[in-house]
Amino acid sequence: MALFSKNKTIQKSDILKKPLPKHIAIIMDGNGRWATNRGLPRVAGHRAGVETLKQIIEFCVEINISYLTVYAFSTENWKRPKEEVNTLMNLVVEYIERELDLLDRNGIKINPIGILDELPEKTLEYIKKAAEKTKDNNKLVLNVALNYGGRAEITQAVKKICQKIANGEITPQDINEDLISRFLYTSNMPDPDLLIRPSGEMRLSNFLLWQIAYSELWVTNVLWPDFKPQHLINAIYDFQNRDRRFGGINLS
């Protein structure tokens, strides 16, 4: 439910009056349907989706968002036809080739998250290069979830924690929520305040399962290639008007 009036367009200046989310997570979904609706091959939708990502990153920098996590490829997306998977992996390379200098100049730290060593060699090479070149930037941390799955992330954390116990470095009594968080890809980052899913699907599709425990969800039927900064403004405006109780009650 949108809390803004249907007749009034929410402006950037409206959302800057209140605290912004520190961390926004987006499931970039709907590329295939966008292309199919236009009689185009699905890959055309992925190309259009990259353009949306560029605009949204720029807008996040403009309004000073500190962390943006985008779901680019899930551990389940390998089930897709080989050509589509290859195109997606090549798009990552193309995007980095084309945009890395600009991203770097804008102070963006590219932080790929997921089971990276299963990615094709060239994709891995480019994302490593992007991460290395931008590692000291601090304007916006851009977590790019590639071959990412929330369950896989928690599984690798459990393995590492068990290894520490086996090495005698920690005991089971040392395990608490903070410790588990430190073994996730997002260690030392705040959890997402706002999770956005375009394309109307009401599911999480294995994204950030641990981190979104108390994130505010915002779903729109707009497909990712049609998603504009204005939609992000609307999402943030709604977010700012939600009552985040974290299990407590508001006495006012």
Q: By the criterion CB under 6 A, which residues form the site for ligand IPE?
A: 27-33, 71-74, 77, 88, 199, 201, 203, 205
Residue nearest to ligand IPE (CB): 32
Provide, rounded to whole angstroms, the least separation between the CB of residue 247 and ligand IPE: 28
Provide, rounded to whole angstroms, the least separation between the CB of residue 249 and Mg ion: 37
174 included as an active-site residue = no
Burial class from Cβ neighbours inside 10 Å (0-12, 13-18, 19+) for residue 32 reads buried
Beta strand ranges found along the chain (DSSP E): 23-27, 67-74, 108-113, 140-148, 194-197, 216-219
Rounded to 5, what percent of the chain is helix, strand, coil?
45, 15, 40
Pick one of ligand IPE, Mg ion, none as the site partner of residue 38 (Cβ within 5 to 8 A by kind).
Answer: none
Residue placing its CB nearer to ligand IPE in the complex, 33 or 231: 33
Return d(Cα 202, Cα 109) in angstroms, integer: 30
The kind and range of the H/E element at 133 are helix 121-133
Pick one of ligand IPE, Mg ion, none as the site partner of residue 28 (Cβ within 5 to 8 A by kind).
Answer: ligand IPE
Amino acid in the structure at residue 142: L
Taking the CA atoms of 203, 208, 213 and 218 in sequence, report the sign of the dihedral they define.
negative
29 included as an active-site residue = yes
Q: How many residues bind Mg ion (CB under 5 A)?
A: 1
- Reduced 3-state DSSP string for 87-109: HHHHHHHHHHHHHHHHHHHCCEE
Provide, rounded to whole angstroms, the least separation between the CB of residue 245 and ligand IPE: 28
14, 77, 104, 106: which one is catalytic? 77
29, 191, 193, 238: which one is catalytic? 29
**DSSP three-state, residue 76:** coil
Residue placing its CB nearer to Mg ion in the complex, 36 or 163: 36
29 binds Mg ion (CB under 5 A): yes
Pick one of ligand IPE, Mg ion, none as the site partner of residue 203 (Cβ within 5 to 8 A by kind).
Answer: ligand IPE
Q: Are 41 and 221 within 8 A, CB to CB?
A: no
Stretch that binds Mg ion, among 23-31, 77-85, 208-216, 229-237 (CB under 5 A): 23-31
Provide, rounded to whole angstroms, the least separation between the CB of residue 28 and Mg ion: 9
- Per DSSP, what are the bridge partners of residue 145? 71, 113
Amino acid in the structure at residue 50: V
Provide, rounded to whole angstroms, the least separation between the CB of residue 7 and Mg ion: 32
Where in the sequence numbering do the catalytic residues fall? 29, 77
Chain residues in the site for Mg ion (CB under 5 A): 29
